[in-house]
Structure 1
Amino acid sequence: MLNRIQGTLMVGQVLSAAALLWGTILVASANAGECPADKMSAGARTQGETQPNGVTDTVLATIDLSKEKVNLADRQLRTRKLEIQPGGVVPWHSHEDRPALIYIISGTIEEYASNCSVPIVHKAGEVSVEKSGVQHWWKNTGTTPVVLLSSDVFHDMPKANPHAM
C-alpha cells in the first residue's frame, strides 16, 4: 500500500513538473517575439507611427528575381541593415505582398502589430517572420541602438525607393 501511495505521489510530481515546464515554454515563446495567444485579435491596431525616426537604413544587396529561375516579375530579394536609435521608429507598413524575415542582431525592440493588442518584444538573436496579413510599426523604447537585418521580397517599381518599408 505504501509503495502504491509513493508511486502515485511520484507520478503526480512528474506530471506537475511537466505541466510547469510546458507552461514555462509557452510563456517564454509568447515573450520571445510573438503575440501571446490571448492577445491575438484581427484589427487590434489600425494605425501607428507613419514616419521613420532615428533609423539608418542601409541596403546591403538585392537580386532582381525576374532574371532568376524563380522568375518573379517586378520583384527583388533585398537585404537591409537597419539601425534604430533610442526612441527611433520604423513606421507603419504592410507585408500584404512583401514577405520578410527580420533578424535582431542587437538590442531589444517593440513591435506594434495590427493583429496583437499588446506590444511584441523582440530581442537579440530572434527572427521575426513577416507575412501576408501583417501591418505594423516598430519602436526602440530602450536606451541603446537596435540593429536589425531585414530580408524581403520587394516590388521593383520604376525608380522605387530602395529604403521603402
Structure 2
Amino acid sequence: MRLPLTTLGLAALLLAAPSAFAGTCPKDKTLTVARDIPLRDSVSVKRQTLAIVDITGWRGTSDLRLRTRKLTVGKGGIVPTHEHHDRPSIVYVLSGEIYEHSAFCSVPILHKTGEWTPEFGPGHAHWWENKSGKTVVLLSSDVVPPEGLDKPEDM
C-alpha cells in the first residue's frame, strides 16, 4: 500500500514532535454542565486539507471520512464556534499559541506549540482565538460524513 507523501510527512512530524497534552482548564474553573458560549464567525483562518481516508464500513461505521487539515490562524484570527458532540477530533499546535473558549471552562485555555487536545463529547462546543500577535498553525484530524468535508471556498 502506498501512502501519499503528505500523510507520511504528517506521521513523521507527529512521531518526532513532543507528546504534550495541551493546556487544560484549571480544576476550579471546570464546569460540569456546558455553558452558553458566544457564536463567533471565522476570522483570518486558512484551511488546507492534507489527507482524507474513507472509513466507510470499517468496524461497522457508516459513511464516514477521517480527515486531516492544516489550519493557519492569522494575527487576531478566530476559529469559529463549533461543536464536537458527534465529531471526534484531535488538534495539534504545530506553531504558536492560541486560546480556546470552551463550554466546559469558565476561563480561556491557552494551548502552545507541541501540545495536543482531544475534542469530543456531549455539549463539547468551543471557539479558538489568536491573541499572540503571530500566525498560529494547527493540525486537526477529525471524523466527518462526506457532507462535512470542506467546500472549495473553505480551503
TM normalised by structure 2 equals 0.78
Which structure features the higher share of helix residues?
1
Corresponding residue for residue 162 of structure 1? 150
Structure 1: runs of 5 or more not aligned: 1-28
Q: For 2:128 and 2:78, locate their aligned partners in 1 and report how far apart those are by CA, in whole Å.
A: 6
| Aligned with residue 110 of structure 1, among 99, 112, 137 | 99
Find the aligned partners of 1:61 and 1:70 in 2 and give their Cα distance. Answer: 21
- Aligned counterparts of 1:154 and 1:80: Cα–Cα separation in 2: 12
Contact 1:58 1:82 in 2 (8 A): yes
Match of 1:96 among 76, 79, 85: 85
Q: How does 1:52-91 map to 2 (within 5 A)?
A: 52-66=42-56, 69-91=58-80
**1:9-158 correspondence runs (5 A):** 32-43=22-33, 45-66=35-56, 69-133=58-122, 134-157=124-147
Q: Give identity over the alignment, percent.
A: 42
Contact 2:43 2:77 in 1 (8 A): yes
Q: C-alpha separation between the residues in 1 aligned to 2:24 and 2:66?
A: 25
Aligned length: 132
Shift, 1:101, TM fit: 0.6
Native 8 Å contact 1:58 1:81 kept in 2: yes
8 Å contact kept, 1:42–1:114: no
Runs of 4+ in 1 over 2 A off after TM superposition: 42-45, 47-50
What SS does the corresponding residue of 1:38 show, helix, strand or coil? helix
Q: RMSD of aligned C-alpha atoms? A: 2.1
Letter of the structure 1 residue corresponding to residue 132 of structure 2: G
Amino acid at match of 1:141: K
One-letter amino acid of the structure 2 residue matched with residue 96 of structure 1: H
CA contact (8 A) 2:30 2:104 kept: yes
Secondary structure, aligned partner of 1:142? coil
- Structure 2: unaligned runs, 5 residues or longer: 1-19
The 8 Å contact of residues 37 and 102 in structure 2, kept in 1 or not, is answered as: no
Partner amino acid, structure 2, of 1:149: L
Query: How far off is 1:130 after superposition?
Result: 0.6
